[in-house]
Amino acid sequence: MKFGVIVFPGTWSDRDCGGVVESLQDQGAELTYLWHRDRDLKGCDCVIAPGGFSYGDHLRAGAIAATSPIMASVKEFAAAGGLVWGICNGFQILCEARLLPGALVRNDVLEFRCVWTHLICERAGTPFTGTLKDGEVVRIPISHNEGSYLADAATLARLERNGQVVFRYADSRGRVRRSANPNGSAHGIAGIVNEAGNVLGMMPHPERASDLLLGGTDGRRMFESILRHRPLPTLVG
């Protein structure tokens, strides 16, 4: 399984994601970095848009990155069924690129939040959550200023109806409560997939919860889920 981690100007979680992939080489993981100005996805099976402040978050978080050359290839890759994973700023980029619905706006507390959160997994059957169970609570940190998920009522209803909400902020017992929501996201949403289930966007950072030295390993399980997923043949060179 070949992972491609995109590098934009201002990206800073690319090496964190890459480090997790490298630690899984004995399980068949392969790593390559993808430069934002290139169009070649280098035969990757899963493309990761990592966290950071791509292009300095000018205009809006993720807005400029969404128009970069590499994203044209990512759109084609996703349309053909390839796995695409946006984390934090990567989630913002996927929304700006219209690979996922909705938008990420300023945290309702009007401050940057960098804390550990509990998430309840509501859809374990995706390529990204195959090692999790429905209703399982995992502990993964956030680090963002514009992480409040927002969408119109019709879009939120469609996401709920189609089972596209993968993670919600919850307390340690899995209860979705306002007190457990760190940024004011609608419906407590922390992560969603597209209708086909091959594109995931999430604000929490699983790469930061992939080693006991960092405080936990729940995030590592998502990388392992992708490794266990049977990839489609290479769709974009």
Residue 237's pLDDT is what? 44
Domain assignment present for residue 188? The answer is yes
Q: What percent of the chain has pLDDT over 90?
A: 86
Which of 44, 46, 88, 121 is labelled catalytic? Answer: 88
- pLDDT tens string 68-85: 999 999 999 999 999 999
* Residue 88 among the catalytic residues: yes
Domain assignment present for residue 234? The answer is no
* Residue 205 among the catalytic residues: yes
- For residue 236, pLDDT over 80 is answered with no
* Residue 96 among the catalytic residues: no
Which of 96, 122, 146, 207 is labelled catalytic? Answer: 207
Q: What percent of the chain has pLDDT over 70?
A: 97
- For residue 233, pLDDT over 60 is answered with no
> What is the per-residue DSSP string for 2-67?
EEEEEE-TTB-SHHHHHHHHHHTGGGT-EEEEEETT----TT-SEEEE--B-GGGG-SSTTTTGGG
> Across residues 228-237, what is the average pLDDT?
59
Which of 36, 118, 144, 205 is labelled catalytic? Answer: 205
Domain assignment present for residue 235? The answer is no
> Across residues 140-165, what is the average pLDDT?
97
Number of domains in the chain: 1
State the residue range of the domain holding 23.
2-228
Domain assignment present for residue 236? The answer is no
CATH of the domain at 126: 3.40.50.880
> Across residues 54-80, what is the average pLDDT?
91
**What pTM did the predictor assign?**
0.93
Domain assignment present for residue 233? The answer is no
Domain assignment present for residue 44? The answer is yes
Cα–Cα distance for residue pair 169/26, rounded to 1 Å: 32
Q: How many CB atoms lie within 10 A of CB 181?
A: 21
Residue 216's pLDDT is what? 93
